[in-house]
Amino acid sequence: MRHIYILCMTILLLSACNGMMNNENSSSEKAFVLPDNATRVIITGYLFIPGEADSMPGNFLIDLGADNLYLDSVYFHENNLTYENTFFANISGIGNTLKRIIVIRDSVNFTFKGYNFKTDIVPVLDLKPIGGDYVDGLLGVRYFMDKSLEINYEHQYIIIHSGINTVDLTNYQSIKLKRIDNYICAPITMKANGIEINGHFIIDTGYPVSSITSAASKVHNLETVISHKIEYYTDYGGIGGESASYDFIIDSVLISDFSLSNVNMSFSIDSAGIMAEGDYLGIIGNDILRRFDVIFDFANLNLYLKPNKIYTKPFVFDRLGFTYVDRFRTKGGWIVTGLTVNGFAEKQGLKIDDKIISVNNISVEDIEYTTQDSFFLNTNRISMVVEDSSGRKTLKFKLKPLL
């Protein structure tokens, strides 16, 4: 399924006051021995590590499109985290609006597997409506700035190296990164319908998919050039709320000497926010990064890539026609967050904020978070019990590639 986006938020201070992947498992995975210095991660479309913020355990998304530590508001309140010094701020992210939040001015101590990160100016955000109950916070790039971060998508672990000199770079290819608007960006070339889009794209592990900004799409007239596309809209596109885009299949994506064909892509039609415009052309997310072994050398601004076992595996396009987040623990079901225009789900009456209770006679409570993507792979029809303000109803529709 397509996922909802979480991306870096820009803080605009208002006033200070006292009180802001599918798993690609195989038989070889069972025989794999995790390196001693590795930290196991859970990969769905996001990368999660278990950690603690001031001794309170949670699941934290590694988001290299974010700059610092961010806490989810439900996690913050349920754990009774209190601080003497806070202030209010407005933030923007993906989406068209600003959000008013609380920001912790005091130091917050974040730890995971023996690593420690002490920081202040920590925003408290409503992350669960965007990413589901599993998201308790984000860990951004500031923690890793004097280190090298190795991400192994195939075997689902990360290693934090003290520097690039301690890393075995055999068979890796180096790509020079560039900082643009505080984001880490790489030179990318995309080709579609005879046009070429060439420039820097944000490289972001907190972004499950890949997309082109509204500004870049207008420059290349993609809305006209790309005839085979579908429109998607959401009220939960990111911290900025409402967001919309067109999904399509791009001919090729070139990253240095690596070339990927028939790649799932979207181009934004947002009028504001991170995906509207910038000196970057878009975002490369985990759907592309997961095809490589990845090493970020932050100190020298280099990216190292080595193809893994799924490098040549064909991209699979969305069949659901809707997006949701798992809010069973806090809301009692999966909450619909976005829809494909004229998709089977929308035509059957599914709406944003509907609560999905069961799918094919299985309660969503019994469908594990890490298996939800694969749950839909082996069926061509679904029957869902859905609840809205008027009561419960059953929706039935086909599943087939939307493009």
Q: Label residue 27 by pLDDT band (50, 70, 90).
A: very low
CATH fold of 322-398? Pdz3 Domain (2.30.42)
* CB neighbourhood size of 184 (10 A): 20
pLDDT at 96: 55
Distance (Å, whole) CA 177 – CA 144: 15
Does the structure show a pLDDT above 70 at 219? yes
Report residue 39's pLDDT band, with 50, 70 and 90 as the boundaries. very high
pLDDT at 238: 66
Question: What is the Cα–Cα distance from 234 to 236, expressed in whole angstroms?
Answer: 5
Across all residues in the chain, what is the average pLDDT? 89
Rounded Cα distance between 68 and 108, Å, is 11
Torsion of CA 29, 51, 94, 77, to 10 degrees: 140
Which residue, chain included where needed, has tokens 């299949």? 249
CA distance 299 to 306: 20
Q: Is the whole model's pTM more than 0.75, yes or no? A: yes
C-alpha to C-alpha distances, 64 to 3, 74, 178, 221, 266, nearest whole angstrom: 17, 22, 14, 30, 20
Q: Do domains 10-161 and 322-398 have the same CATH topology?
A: no
Q: Which helix (H) or strand (E) holds 118?
A: strand 115-119
Provide mean pLDDT across the span 261-266: 96
Q: Domain residue spans in the chain?
A: 10-161, 173-307, 322-398
Q: Is the pLDDT of residue 253 over 70?
A: yes
How far is the CA of 107 from the CAs of 49, 65, 400, in angstroms?
Answer: 21, 22, 49
pLDDT given for residue 30 in this prediction: 60
334-387 pLDDT per residue, tens: 999 999 999 999 999 999 999 999 999 999 999 998 888 788 888 889 999 999
Per-residue confidence (pLDDT) for residue 44, from 0 to 100: 84
Q: CA angle 393-395-396, nearest 5°?
A: 150
Residue 11 forms beta bridges with which residues? 91
Tell me the CATH architecture of domain 173-307: Beta Barrel (2.40)
Pick the CATH number of 10-161 from 3.40.50.10860, 3.40.50.300, 2.60.120.620, 2.40.70.10: 2.40.70.10
Segment 104-124 shows an average pLDDT of 93
DSSP β-ladder status, 258-268 and 211-212: parallel
- Which phi and psi angles does 96 have, rounded to 5°? -105, 0
Q: Is 366 helix (H, G, I), strand (E, B) or coil?
A: helix
Q: Does the pLDDT of residue 239 top 90, yes or no?
A: no
Average pLDDT over residues 212-226: 96
Is the model's pLDDT at 394 over the cut of 70? yes
Instruction: Please compute the mean of the pLDDT values over residues 280-300 and round it to a whole number.
Output: 96
Residues in the chain: 403
SS3 210: coil
**Which range has highest mean pLDDT (6-15, 87-96, 225-234)?**
225-234
How confident is the model at residue 266, as a pLDDT?
Answer: 96
